[in-house]
């Protein structure tokens, strides 16, 4: 899901979660199907209750469109298996409401369960306030649900899959998914 659905009225993803197709997405996820929400898709997955937390206005109150570096936190998921833990990837981001937020109880749970997949970082992998473009709590850029089958990511890996176009770090995520699906199908 994604794409400024329903004009992001009320808040990002709030109305889209009531779209009839979301009933099927929820059923698919509950049956163990892989669901990947990029940017507005991440916002919708949070609004639909498939991922914990919410996405809020960037702390700058401005739309951000730039490349950002992310540190891979968990490489043991269908979305990150082609990565290595601690690896730094460069992925473009483009959003006005990308600041991840959750209360302390939820944050403690997702940290304890290794649900955070990516954090905003410096090019050498340090998670700092300066490296966090939108003010996301704990520098969270992407995470999975508690069983690892639903993933939300604010940056856009689909925009960097070909080195001729400026970078291919996003390809790692899609290779991870392809490897997982191929292994399951074998």
Q: Indicate which residues carry an active-site annotation.
A: 39, 156, 158
H-helix or E-strand spanning residue 179: helix 171-185
Tokens of 179: 């490897």
**Which of 134, 139, 26, 18 lies closest to 73, judged by CA?**
139
- Sequence-separated contacts (24+) of 53-56 with Cβ below 8 Å: 53/100, 53/101, 53/102, 53/106, 53/110, 53/140, 53/143, 54/100, 54/101, 54/102, 55/12, 55/13, 55/97, 55/98, 55/99, 55/100, 55/101, 55/154, 56/11, 56/97, 56/99, 56/100, 56/101
The answer to whether 151 and 37 have CB atoms below 8 angstroms apart is yes
C-alpha of 88 from chain center: 15
The answer to whether 110 and 52 have CB atoms below 8 angstroms apart is yes
């Amino acid at each position: 899901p994604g794409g400024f659905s329903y004009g992001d009225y009320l808040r990002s993803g709030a109305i889209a979660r009531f779209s009839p197709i979301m009933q099927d997405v929820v059923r698919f996820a509950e049956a163990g199907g892989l669901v990947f929400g990029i940017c507005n898709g991440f916002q919708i997955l949070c609004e639909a209750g498939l991922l914990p937390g919410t996405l809020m206005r960037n702390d700058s109150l401005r739309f951000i469109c730039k490349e950002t570096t992310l540190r891979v936190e968990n490489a043991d998921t269908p979305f990150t298996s082609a990565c290595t833990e601690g690896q730094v990837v460069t992925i473009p981001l483009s959003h006005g409401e990308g600041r991840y937020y959750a209360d302390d109880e939820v944050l403690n749970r997702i940290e304890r369960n290794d649900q955070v997949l990516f954090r905003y970082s410096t090019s050498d992998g340090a998670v700092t306030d300066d490296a966090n473009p939108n003010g996301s709590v704990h520098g969270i850029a992407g995470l999975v649900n508690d069983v690892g089958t639903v993933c939300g990511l604010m940056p856009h890996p689909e925009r960097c899959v070909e080195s001729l176009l400026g970078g291919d770090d996003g390809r790692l995520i899609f290779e991870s998914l392809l490897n997982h699906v191929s292994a399951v199908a074998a």
